[in-house]
Amino acid sequence: MTAPPARPRAGPIVGPGGPGRTGAGVAIFLVSLVVAVATILTVAAGGDAREWSARLRDPITIAVWASGLESADAAAARAADVAGGVDGVRAVRTIDATPIDAVVARIMGAPTRDPAEIRLLSIDTAADASAVAARVEGALHAGGVPARIDDHSWRSSAGLHAAAAAIACAAALGLVAVLFIWLACGRLTRREMTTRQTTLELMRISGASDGFVTGLFARRTIVLAIAAAVLGTAAGAVIAGAWNHYGPASVFDALRPLARADLAWILPWPLVAGVIAALASHLAARSTLRAVP
């Protein structure tokens, strides 16, 4: 006796494709790519900043640079002599040179980005750092030493201002990305429902609950958002990695080399995109359904 032939599985109630899906998918892909690259940069920069924080532990940092026939080391030695004689200065240390010093010096206002022409010094103070910094700056200026001074205070520190600006930019980019995905997913869900009025009406008169219909359309948007976010994030990681290893002189040159752990920070993004897509599409579907009895 032969078994009856297996019945084909029921097809999806909402058919494949639909207007706006490709556009929304591409947009989410691109946003995810930007988010991935920005996240990798932020994580790498954050790691560097933590290293800098450990090295720049004294209250004042001085950046000096080569000028004319004077080398960076000579300028650093001269700056140490001048600063050491200022009232309130307890000790002056030359910080071991690393390539990332150029970024710190650049943020502080040094005119060069060549690590070979930059030296950083740190000053320990016996009095109020801001007052001592002002006196050291005056002395260096009077001595003709090309230098910039940072007293690590929120009021005047260019380094802290740059860090705050970077954090604000990263947060703003994250918010824009979240908002964009929210709007794209909500719009896509509404559009899909609007163009499938017959299917909606048939489901409604067949007794489908709002939850069933909402889930049906929201699932499509969530799957699209997650797929586009996974692809965009992977593309972003590949681009950042390739840039880091093979690219021309770039911001990565100043940062420490990317680690695999840095890439781990972008892994949650597709999940985040999926959660945003779920919330946005559910709300959009519910509001669309509530427009009819």
Partner 1 sequence: MSTTRDATASAEIDAEAQPAPCVRFDGVSLRRDGDGAVLRDLSFAIAPGSFHSLIGPAGSGKTSVLRLICLAETPSRGVVQIFGRDAAALRRPQRALMRRRIGAVFQPSAFIEHLSVRDNASLGPRVVGRKPADYESDVEELLAWTSLADKADAPPAVLSTAEKQRLALARAVANRPDILLVDEPAAGLDAASAQRVLRLLRDLHRAGTTVILASRDADLAARSGYPVLQLQEGRASLVDAPALETAR
Q: Which residues bind partner 1 (CB under 8 A)?
A: 7-8, 10-11, 13, 15-16, 198-199, 201-210, 212-213, 290, 292-293
Share of the chain residues as helix, strand and coil, in percent rounded to the nearest 5: 65, 10, 30
Query: Shortest distance, CB of residue 278 to partner 1, whole angstroms?
Result: 20
Residues 6+ apart with CB under 8 A from 36: 232, 233, 234, 235, 236, 237, 240, 266, 269
Query: Shortest distance, CB of residue 286 to partner 1, whole angstroms?
Result: 10
Number of H helices, E strands in the chain: 10, 4
- DSSP per-residue string spanning 210-230: HHHHHHHHHHHHHHHHHHHHH
Which of 179, 173, 182 is CA-nearest to residue 236?
Answer: 173
Residue placing its CB nearer to partner 1 in the complex, 2 or 198: 198
Residue placing its CB nearer to partner 1 in the complex, 208 or 234: 208
Query: Shortest distance, CB of residue 283 to partner 1, whole angstroms?
Result: 15
Query: Shortest distance, CB of residue 16 to partner 1, whole angstroms?
Result: 8
Query: Shortest distance, CB of residue 228 to partner 1, whole angstroms?
Result: 23
Which of 102, 95, 34 is CA-nearest to residue 65?
Answer: 102
Two tokens at 269?
Answer: 């993004």
Residue placing its CB nearer to partner 1 in the complex, 207 or 248: 207
Residue placing its CB nearer to partner 1 in the complex, 4 or 248: 4
Residue placing its CB nearer to partner 1 in the complex, 209 or 250: 209
Residue placing its CB nearer to partner 1 in the complex, 15 or 68: 15
How many Å apart are CA 279 and CA 220, to the nearest integer? 13
Whether 159 and 253 have beta carbons less than 8 Å apart is answered as no
